[in-house]
Amino acid sequence: MNAVAIALHLVAATVWVGGLFFAYVVLRPTTTLLEPPQRLQLWAGVFKKFFPWVWMSIVILLVSGYWLIFGWFNGFSSTPGYVHLMHLVGWIMILLFIYLYYKIYPLFKKAVAEQNWPDAAAVMNRIRHVVLVNLVLGLLILLSVAALQRLG
């Protein structure tokens, strides 16, 4: 059963961090070729499709992560340090996404719906910063956990 939890955890992390990587490194530079209304409407469509996947990834990461902490490691006291690091950074990423989803994203949707392109672009810039922070955190945790897991 632990193999199932590990597999689910890895797939959920891949979906979330991979989606962030694609959005920031591939899609963002490509959309600069579009005029602001088309670019911002494209992003509105991307977020509408991607954010449910992020929510699903978060649920799977939490369930599988706590399943492993309490089922495999028998609780936090016997959990290796790299798992504590993953747990901490994972919660930071989740809280950043919750902030983005409930505070910033509604402003973006409103501005796009009203075709207020200057406001939508300004909000998009805020979203871009949160995406970058979560991308860096996600990549750092993947790299550090892979390295630390080998050591301990």
Cα–Cα dist 118/94, whole Å: 28
pLDDT in tens, 30-76: 999 999 999 999 999 999 999 999 999 999 999 999 999 999 999 99
Supply the range of the domain harboring residue 14: 2-151
The DSSP letter of residue 152 is -
Domain count, the chain: 1
77-103 pLDDT, tens per residue? 999 988 999 999 999 999 999 999 999
- pLDDT band at 148, cuts 50/70/90? confident
Helix (H, G, I), strand (E, B) or coil at 71: helix
This model's pTM is above 0.75: yes
CA 77/CA 80 separation, integer angstroms: 9
Computed over every residue of the chain, the mean pLDDT equals 95
Q: What is the per-residue pLDDT across 7-25, written as a single tens digit (0 to 9) for each?
A: 999 999 999 999 999 999 9
d(CA 123, CA 85): 31
Structural contact between residues 131 and 6, judged by C-beta atoms closer than 8 angstroms: no
